[in-house]
Structure 1
Amino acid sequence: MNLLDSLRALRLLAIVRGTDPGAALRTVLTLAEEGIEAIEVSLTTPDALTVIEQARAALGPEALVGAGTVRTAADGARAVAAGASYLVTPALVDGLRSTGSPEIPVLMGALTPTEIEGALARGACAVKLFPGSLGGPRYLRALRDPFPEVPFVPVGGVDVAAAREYLDQGATAVGVGSPLVGDAADGGDLDELRARAAEFRRAIAGEAR
């Protein structure tokens, strides 16, 4: 799977993090039904590996279901064994190429120019700019000058308005957690999740609200 090409096409990565594994699985499946195809399940979610395994089984082998909050090579190996099709880290993580599937794509977290270089040196296919809320779209615009070729995916505090602004400033895609998922992964209303998903899809497409 070419994660980078998928992110360029889809422009939105949903981040599912919750307290209820059953609700988290329902959230993943609902997002997929609403046309949000790239979905990351945070390993901080209870029984996250089972959620990933069941989501991949339900959505098929080509599903873009990855593991997030991967902090160690061991985390990565367990996620790959559960069926994660890509890994997302919050920071620089060594050893992810030894997860048992060296070709698995990694979206690696970084914030500063030095960390960005570190992520690229570790084989990241794209850089998760985290926490994006610290610098906002203006910070991304400043980074585009020294790093014009680097695919950036801002994550952290990305609401509907910020999503569109990041994309306008050159982000490859945006990663969105609670502004999209809300409390759905804790057992919240799935109809409200569907409404938020539609709103984000319109924003990503550049349609007026």
Structure 2
Amino acid sequence: MKLTRLPHHTLAIVRGRDRAAALRTVLTLAEEGLTATEVPLTTTDALWVIEQARRELGPDALLGAGTVLTPGQAARAADAGAGFLVTPGVVEGLGTRLPVLMGAMTPTEIISATSHGALAVKLFPASLGGPAYLTTLRAPFPDVPLLPVGGIDAAAARAYLDAGAVAVGAGAPLIGDAADGGDLTALRARAAQWRSSLAEAATL
């Protein structure tokens, strides 16, 4: 898994209360070109969503499980077809060979996450420090891939990428209510606006 190849530098986070709607959301995002997706295990029947999405999208899709806290959860996510894991904080000994995006916020946590083999550090909740905090972290951690998550809309995504983020996690500002059974047409419109906004940023 190469984070530099995430389409539009975006990891879409699909969390919802309706498993069928969550699956439709994952597939709709893929149709709109946002093909890197995390399904948090707090989503209703998340493993079913991952399994069905993997079946529809194929073995090469960038599809992972989020909010992974235990080795048991990690194993079940891998069995369901997750290609990577995402944790909300530093979690040791998940026991799979899958890449892990490990959550951290402070320098100490970042050091711990990288020492435990994290592919990248999920800077969470990024909204506490904003892009300026990420810029500050780049000085002591120039080689650590940082992926901010938490309340990031398209404008903030541009600022984080400019500050040195390898990609951003896009949750509610992108997904809206789609994973709870909301309007997929509105989701497509938000996805198009997101792509356009980040494409414009890439040309600046």
Per the alignment, in what secondary structure is the counterpart of residue 164 of structure 2? coil
Q: Which residue of 1 aligns with 2:181?
A: 187
Q: Which residue of 2 aligns with 1:95?
A: 93
How many Å separate the matches in 2 of 1:191 and 1:10? 20
Query: Is 2:172 the partner of 1:178?
Result: yes
Alpha-carbon contact 1:164-1:206 (below 8 Å) kept: no
Alpha-carbon contact 1:159-1:179 (below 8 Å) kept: yes
1:152-194 Cα shifts (integer Å, max 9, x gaps): 0000010111000000010000001000000000000000000
Q: What letter matches 1:147 in structure 2?
A: F
How many Å separate the matches in 2 of 1:157 and 1:12? 14
Structure 2 runs not aligned, ≥5 long: none
How many Å separate the matches in 2 of 1:166 and 1:91? 20
How many Å separate the matches in 2 of 1:196 and 1:135? 25
Structure 1 runs not aligned, ≥5 long: none
How many Å separate the matches in 2 of 1:89 and 1:201? 26
Q: Which residue of 2 aligns with 1:46?
A: 44
Per the alignment, in what secondary structure is the counterpart of residue 103 of structure 2? strand
Q: Which residue of 1 aligns with 2:136?
A: 142
TM-score (norm 1): 0.94
Alpha-carbon contact 1:92-1:115 (below 8 Å) kept: yes
How many Å separate the matches in 2 of 1:128 and 1:144? 14
TM-score (norm 2): 0.96
Q: Which residue of 2 aligns with 1:131?
A: 125
Q: What letter matches 1:6 in structure 2?
A: R
Among all aligned residue pairs of Structure 1 and Structure 2, give the percentage whose two residues are the same amino acid: 66
Alpha-carbon contact 2:14-2:39 (below 8 Å) kept: yes
Alpha-carbon contact 1:106-1:124 (below 8 Å) kept: yes
Coordinate RMSD, CA, aligned: 1.2
Alpha-carbon contact 1:111-1:131 (below 8 Å) kept: yes
1:16-64 Cα shifts (integer Å, max 9, x gaps): 0000000000000000000001000010011100000000000011011
> Following TM superposition, by how much is the alpha carbon of 1:200 offset from its aligned partner in structure 2, in angstroms?
1.0
Per the alignment, in what secondary structure is the counterpart of residue 161 of structure 2? helix
How many Å separate the matches in 1 of 2:200 and 2:122? 22
Instruction: Specify which of 146, 151, 155 is matched with residue 157 of structure 1.
Output: 151
